[in-house]
A and B are shown apart, each in its own frame.
Chain A
Amino acid sequence: MSASNLEIGPIFRALMRNKVGAILIAIQIAITMTIIVNSVFIIVERSQKMTRESGIDEANTFHIGSSAFAPNFNHQVSIEQDLALLRALPGVVDAIQINAVPISGSGWSMSLQTQAGAEYDGIGSAIYMVDENGLNALDLELIAGEAFVASDIRWRQRGQTDWPEQAIITKAFAEKLFPDSEWASVAGKTIYINDNEPMIIKGIVDKLQAPWVGWDNVEHALLSPERLAFPTVRYLIRTEPGMRDKLMPEVEQALATSNKGRIVRGLRTSAEDRERSYRGDSAMIKILTTVMIILTVVTALGIVGLASFSVNRRKKQIGTRRALGASQGAILRYFMLENFLISSVGVAFGAALTVGLNVVLVNAFSLSAIDWFYIPIGMITLWLVGQLAVYGPAKKAANIAPAIATRTV
């Protein structure tokens, strides 16, 4: 079958003379493609965001809060006793007091800069206050410099605003602070907090995310060597693999009974934090997937409807074609080709609309610009949907008997 015998010209000319149905389907295909391609792009983006690693051992980590209410409660003593108790529990790898938990949704942030002075702009970073066990409890990999030692750790009192002299930062933050330096060489350099307070970068860890997963600086984190002598504190506990769920009630019970002057609450795993933080993204993916499926089905049904109507309307014409020598395959090809032409117009408009909608989304919601390859993939997908949808009616048309051509009714 040569290209000239494929009836592209006659089909196109016939469609142009009877174009309302075809145009409606082409518009439907264009809109479907626009929404599907942008939805897939958003879904892929969200999925990639959701699968980013936080840097901590999420599967084996949980945290719990402690709020003192007793008069004359000695926070420092209580925290030291709690940490000793937690670290001694069988199955616990390590435990720390921490001011905020990665990807939990709430925490502290500060602006850090490489030159002292209020006139210089800083770069935001999450702040985690940890002791010398911080790296082990968070399961962080030190890739340059040194870890905190016990003598580095200080107590922060309520209302205290100054900062320790040392810090450990993430590699991503180091690269952002010193874009012209090799990240490994950043260890030992000085950065400034509160405009003028120097902090020497003691070490660099591979990865640690901020508490806020939607934050642009989510990969920026700074570990400050201190414990908080606050009435409300939080402990982060890392367990041996598989021990988390068993240890959670034990830890809760142990803390509750070890000191009656406080209440323990807010027992939660890091896996739950992830689920809560990404709940919006997860819901968005489900909604977009549902919309995509519904749109695809509606479009496919539209194509089936138009093709079925067209076959029923043209039964005699199909019989005549068969009488004139069209094989069943030729009739099948005719309808598939007709749909392909309609779909081609639809996906061509769809490609332009897709880019247009993406520009709107980029401007309105700060989304990324769509990658070019989504467009051809979307076009091929809609072509395939069209061909699959039209196959049934086309097969029905191919089965129309040629003898119908001689029927007068």
Chain B
Amino acid sequence: MLKMMDVKKVFRTDTVETHALRDFNLTVDEGDFVAVTGPSGSGKTTFLNIAGLLETFDGGQYQLDGMDVSHLNDKQRSQLRNEKIGFIFQSFNLIPDLDLFDNVDVPLRYRGFSSAERRRRIEQSLELVGLANRMKHLPAQLSGGQQQRVAIARALAGEPRFLLADEPTGNLDSKMAQSVMELLQEINRNGTTIVMVTHDSELAQQAKRNIYVRDGKVSELHSVADLAAAASA
């Protein structure tokens, strides 16, 4: 599903060169649920941006669903993002001036679906997250947990094969966080591959697989003890 080989990413200013990812190697199989943990500044978000085709990289190879994405232009990357990847953001990133229906509709319009098809998918995905009766509400009228559920509905409406979640519970209390986590697990059980960046080791433990990023490199964690050790390192 996702294969990164020796991926490098360097951020440059006039005076400073920061190696965000160094020989980053990771393979994520279809149907996997990978939790990515690591300290702040370790390269987790850079990895997520590159995995989600939000950013380019400076070296190595990245294959998404068997396709080498190194040489895609901006339009092709946008299309691939739209068709194959769903995003869940820490701050939900809902558009405040649009109601829930129109928020979920955003990626579907870029996909070019017909009006009827879009409506079917929006209703289905809002139903899945339990907010079908709030379609005409604005994001500001919902709680944080509900907003994140809308963001998940938006990510799922296009039926992506690959879901990228950036600290999806970072702005939620523990009860809401657990509820969102359970929803993600259900989505994964239905066949969607998920990569989740998180600081929360308890939530990370609920993923099928854990990797730890430090100084732009990956360490595979195999047990709860590994995870705890990594978190306390």
> In the assembled complex, which residues on chain B have CB atoms less than 8 Å from the CB atom of A403?
49, 54-55
CA distance A38 to B155 in the complex (A): 52
Any B CB within 8 A of the CB of A234: no
- Total inter-chain residue pairs, C-beta < 8 Å: 98
Inter-chain contact B75/A1, CB cutoff 8 Å: no
CA distance A41 to B19 in the complex (A): 65
Given A13-B102, A327-B79: A406 touches B110 (CB 8 Å cut-off): no
Given A325-B83, A403-B54: A320 touches B89 (CB 8 Å cut-off): yes
> In the assembled complex, which residues on chain A have CB atoms less than 8 Å from the CB atom of B107?
324-325
CB distance from B15 to the nearest CB of A (A): 22
Stretch in B29-37, B92-100, B141-149, B176-184 touching the partner: B92-100
> In the assembled complex, which residues on chain B have CB atoms less than 8 Å from the CB atom of A306?
none
Inter-chain contact B45/A406, CB cutoff 8 Å: yes
Inter-chain contact A405/B54, CB cutoff 8 Å: yes
- Interface majority SS (helix, strand, loop, mixed), chain A: helix
Any A CB within 8 A of the CB of B106: yes
Any B CB within 8 A of the CB of A408: yes
CB distance from A320 to the nearest CB of B (A): 4
Query: Which of B93, B99, B109, B111 has most A Cβ within 10 Å?
Result: B109
CB distance from A289 to the nearest CB of B (A): 40
CA distance A324 to B52 in the complex (A): 10
Any B CB within 8 A of the CB of A259: no
Inter-chain contact A329/B87, CB cutoff 8 Å: no
CA distance A313 to B74 in the complex (A): 24
Q: Contact string, A33-63, partner B, CB cutoff 8 A, digits 1/0?
A: 0000000000000000000000000000000
CA distance A18 to B96 in the complex (A): 10
Q: Contact string, A4-23, partner B, CB cutoff 8 A, digits 1/0?
A: 11010110011001100000
Inter-chain contact A402/B54, CB cutoff 8 Å: yes
Any B CB within 8 A of the CB of A317: yes
Inter-chain contact B78/A327, CB cutoff 8 Å: yes
Inter-chain contact A406/B106, CB cutoff 8 Å: no
Any A CB within 8 A of the CB of B154: yes
Any B CB within 8 A of the CB of A359: no
Query: Which of A5, A316, A321, A329 has most B Cβ within 10 Å?
Result: A5
Using CB atoms, name the residue of chain B closest to A3: B115
CA distance A83 to B208 in the complex (A): 116
Any B CB within 8 A of the CB of A263: no
Q: Contact string, B84-120, partner A, CB cutoff 8 A, digits 1/0?
A: 0001011101010111001001110111111100000
> In the assembled complex, which residues on chain A have CB atoms less than 8 Å from the CB atom of B131?
none
> In the assembled complex, which residues on chain A have CB atoms less than 8 Å from the CB atom of B45?
406
Given A4-B115, A17-B138, A328-B75: A320 touches B95 (CB 8 Å cut-off): yes
Query: Which of B48, B52, B97 has most A Cβ within 10 Å?
Result: B97
**Given A14-B97, A325-B82, 4 more pairs with CB closer than 8 A:** A323-B52, A325-B79, A330-B110, A402-B53
A-B contact list, 13 entries, CB within 8 Å: A2-B114, A4-B115, A7-B109, A10-B102, A10-B106, A13-B99, A13-B102, A320-B95, A323-B87, A324-B81, A325-B107, A325-B158, A405-B87
* A positions within 8 Å CB-CB of B: 1-2, 4-5, 7, 9-10, 13-14, 17-18, 316-317, 320-330, 401-403, 405-406, 408
